[in-house]
Amino acid sequence: MKEELIQFIQENNLSPFNEKRVFLEGNITFYRTRNAKQVHRRVISKLSEGFVFPDTSNLFDFFKFSTSSEEIKKRQDFFKRIKDFGVINNSFLKELKKPLKTWTPEYSIIVVTENYEVFEKLRQNNCPVQMIVSESDIYPLKDYDIVQIFDCPEHQFALENLPNSVLINSIDDAYLERYLEELSAWKQNLFELADKNIGKEGKALVKELNSLLSLLEYNDSILTKDFIEKKVEEINEKVSMKLRELTIKGESLVHMIEKGELPEELKKITMNAINESSLPINVLNIGIPVTIDEIELDKLIQQESSSSFIRKQEEIKNQAEIIKKIPEKLSRLSSLLLVFDFISGISRYLVDKENFPEIKDFFEINNSKNILLEDPQPISFRLIDHRCSVLTGANSGGKTTLLEHIIQLYSLLQLGLPVYGEFNSPLFEDIYYFAKNKGSATRGAFENLLSQLSSIKPGNKTLILADEIEAVTEPGAAGKIISATIEYYVKKNCFLIIATHLGQEINEMLPEKTRIDGIEAKGLDDNFELIVDHNPIENHLASSTPELIIEKMARKKYNDYLNFVNSFIKSRNI
């Protein structure tokens, strides 16, 4: 699966160095409503908390929803292998920086050709290139340190006579320095990764690329004018010190003045100082003081530079085949870093999840915990002999949370990830979630709901989740509409879970294969919070207990109105 992930990364231009997550087209899911997709996105966001790179979250889009139990099993096996490694550290990835080129060749270089197609290709690859059309194009090339020649049959002889020319046999060998520039951008990151465990292949790539960094260094010591001037000062200081120890004869001074030559004893002192300096004698004027021959020095520096640059070119040329693979290897390493971030980040999620969901022809949750809650209560729920559960019970009792918990579990099943507790489910192909309506009971909202319900694709692969859909119409009619909806879709073999406050009304006209379940609130604790067992009680019609909510608010806020309503309800046993 690693290779498939890498292919996905490269096809979508994902990178560990994108500052913002690349927006991909939405993952193909079986969630048919906006509300269901929102829950799925929250699950992905939670699972992504252990990632370092923004783009790593996009790898979840690789795991497209599937109707194949074999594909789900393949994904589960992939994550089981990751789980066996335990928690993998990826914090060092935070030290990696966006690659920025830090090296360019010290020498000036130009590629010349007589072929226009070659010229265009090299230009598009950001190579310094020049077309040779006539002899007049050759003379200015002497100003370059290196001239690479390719496909110049008409002017090749004249070009090869240039002292700075290098013949190349392939267009791919032109300006290999471009690949070294790309390598230089990774220099600091390669140092950072040198001793890190990013997988066998990743470590091997880092080692190989690190070995090429020596090509960015210049080992030749080229003479500079500043260096020569400093050495000449040292020579003259040594000569001056020796002269203080000598007594110059008058005839020697006369000889030096008349002939313009140093006496032998002075010449010997001067030559000893020059020899100790190791400077080439041809760039010096022998006298007192010793001076620099500027013309000869310029020639020497140019010759040495040219020789050094040619040697560097030969060094690069000798490793051309591996240098040309630098972009490919860096791209591979970049993809491997994203895969490593994904594996290490998800390993934190896997560490305490023991069970992988199983695909069954019934629906069952045993002691499952909601990963989106801080301190969740284990929940159990099932639809085995029934096709529909009508959830009743307390406000804030967990009906909505249970519906969204089910979506969460199905997302984890599709991704191939384990869960807290146990989860068994059919492979649904269509999941509809109609969240609680927060607007008013208007005709438009009611018609919109009916339109959505009528568009459901029914069948034994369809799951319908609905939360207080009665809010869009009058309570009297709502109970009948919900009962009719349940009966219609149960007969179409759909699975349904309906959270509602109209349990009593629906119970009076309960369709076949439908069960009333209840979540009960038992009172208030010392902090005036509801005491609720969030596990639904099967075949139990639970009260929404508005009186407990009122009591909670009255005791917390000490408001005259709330106190009055609370007392009113208690006095009449409402």
- 113 and 172 co-located in one domain: yes
- What per-residue confidence (pLDDT) applies to 257? 46
- What per-residue confidence (pLDDT) applies to 346? 97
pLDDT band at 114 (very low <50, low <70, confident <90, very high): very high
Q: Is 325 exposed, middle or buried (0-12, 13-18, 19+ CB in 10 A)?
A: middle
- 200 and 236 co-located in one domain: no
Identify whether 35 is part of a domain: no
- 236 and 375 co-located in one domain: no
- 119 and 188 co-located in one domain: yes
The dihedral region occupied by 193, where left means phi > 0, alpha psi between -120 and 50, and beta the remainder, is: alpha
Helix (H, G, I), strand (E, B) or coil at 40: helix
- 438 and 485 co-located in one domain: yes
- 294 and 401 co-located in one domain: no
- 454 and 539 co-located in one domain: yes
pLDDT digits over 502-533, tens only? 888 999 999 999 999 998 877 666 666 667 78
- What per-residue confidence (pLDDT) applies to 474? 78
- 455 and 341 co-located in one domain: no
Last-in-domain residue among 276, 309, 342: 309
- What per-residue confidence (pLDDT) applies to 266? 75
Identify whether 78 is part of a domain: no
* CATH code of residue 422: 3.40.50.300
- Give the mean model confidence (pLDDT) for residues 41-61: 96
pLDDT band at 399 (very low <50, low <70, confident <90, very high): very high
pLDDT digits over 120-144, tens only? 999 999 999 999 999 999 989 988 9
| Whether pLDDT at 252 is above 70 | no
- 392 and 535 co-located in one domain: yes
- 195 and 244 co-located in one domain: no
What tokens does 20 get? 């913002």
In DSSP terms, 131 is beta-bridged to 113
pLDDT digits over 416-459, tens only? 999 999 999 999 999 999 998 765 555 577 888 888 999 999 99
Q: Is 295 exposed, middle or buried (0-12, 13-18, 19+ CB in 10 A)?
A: exposed
- 171 and 235 co-located in one domain: no
| Whether pLDDT at 320 is above 80 | yes
Identify whether 314 is part of a domain: no
Identify whether 77 is part of a domain: no
Q: What is the pTM of this model?
A: 0.81
Q: How many domains does the chain have?
A: 3
94 vs 290: which has the higher pLDDT: 94
pLDDT digits over 551-562, tens only? 777 777 767 787
Question: If you ran DSSP here, which 8-state letter would residue 173 be given?
Answer: G
Domain that holds residue 200: 87-216+320-350
- Distance, CA of 352 to CA of 341 (rounded, Å): 19
